[in-house]
Structure formats: C-alpha cells, structure tokens
C-alpha cells in the first residue's frame, strides 16, 4: 500500500472518530442537564369520618433551585393549594389534614405546576 493511501485512510478514520466523539459528548451533556421532579405519597392515607390525613413528597432533581405550586383536588374540584421552594436534591414532605364535605367515595389528586400528578381513592 502506498504511503498516501495509508495517510488518507488514517485521516478518514480520525474524522470519523472525531464525529463519534462529538456526538457522544453532546448526548452526555444534554442528558446531564435534563432534570426531573419526584412526586409521591409518603404514607397510606388515613380517614376518620370526614377527616382525611395524608402526606406527599416533592423532591427537586432539576439541577437547579425550583419553586413549585401544588393543588389538591377531591373529585376534580380544587380543595387546597400551596407552594414551596426547593434547592437541587432537596425534598419536602407536605402533610395535609382535610375535612371532606361528606363521607363518600372520592378521588384525591395532588397536582404540581410541572404537570405531574398523583392520586388515590378513598371509600
């Protein structure tokens, strides 16, 4: 093989490796910057007559400080709301004690302003 051919093959291989490296680096950086928020119930809800006690957790993994607004619904009707601020990797337990209008079946939903929601049914 001629030296010019070897140099040409090495140059093409180097360009291909450089392109693969740049694509991989871009994907890694893009993935690292993507954060998320965890929203989940801490304990099983407890109901005594019309009183309902439950807690939920908001955890910030957005790679930046965040402010959250939350709303609590009973059968799609807003019954409570609040706000909280969290630093990256910080979590907060929100404890709620609500007085329901009737002792009936209800779907309780917790919704964040990040369009995340969780719910449970009470009977």
User: Could you tell me if 99 and 51 are in contact, meaning their C-beta atoms sit under 8 angstroms apart?
Assistant: yes
User: Could you tell me if 54 and 104 are in contact, meaning their C-beta atoms sit under 8 angstroms apart?
Assistant: no
Q: Does domain 36-122 have CATH number 2.60.40.10?
A: yes
**For the chain, which residues make up each domain, given as ranges?**
1-34, 36-122
Distance between CA atoms of residues 104 and 123, nearest Å: 6
pLDDT tens string, the chain, 123 residues long: the values are: 666 777 777 777 777 887 887 777 666 655 556 899 999 999 899 988 888 999 999 999 999 999 999 999 999 999 999 999 999 999 999 999 988 877 678 899 999 999 999 999 988
pTM above 0.85, yes or no: no
Radius of gyration over every alpha carbon of the chain, rounded to an integer in angstroms: 26
Distance between CA atoms of residues 77 and 97, nearest Å: 17
């Amino acid at each position: 093989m001629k030296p010019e051919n070897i140099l040409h093959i090495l140059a093409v291989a180097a360009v291909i490796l450089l392109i693969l490296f740049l694509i991989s680096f871009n994907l890694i950086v893009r993935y690292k910057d993507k954060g998320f928020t965890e929203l989940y119930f801490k304990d099983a809800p407890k109901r005594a007559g019309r009183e309902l006690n439950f807690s939920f957790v908001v955890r910030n993994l957005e790679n930046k400080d965040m402010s959250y607004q939350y709303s609590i619904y009973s059968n799609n009707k807003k019954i409570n709301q609040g706000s909280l601020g969290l630093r990256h990797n910080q979590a907060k337990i929100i404890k709620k004690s609500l007085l329901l209008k009737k002792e009936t079946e209800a779907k309780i939903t917790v919704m964040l302003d990040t369009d995340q929601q969780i719910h449970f049914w009470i009977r």
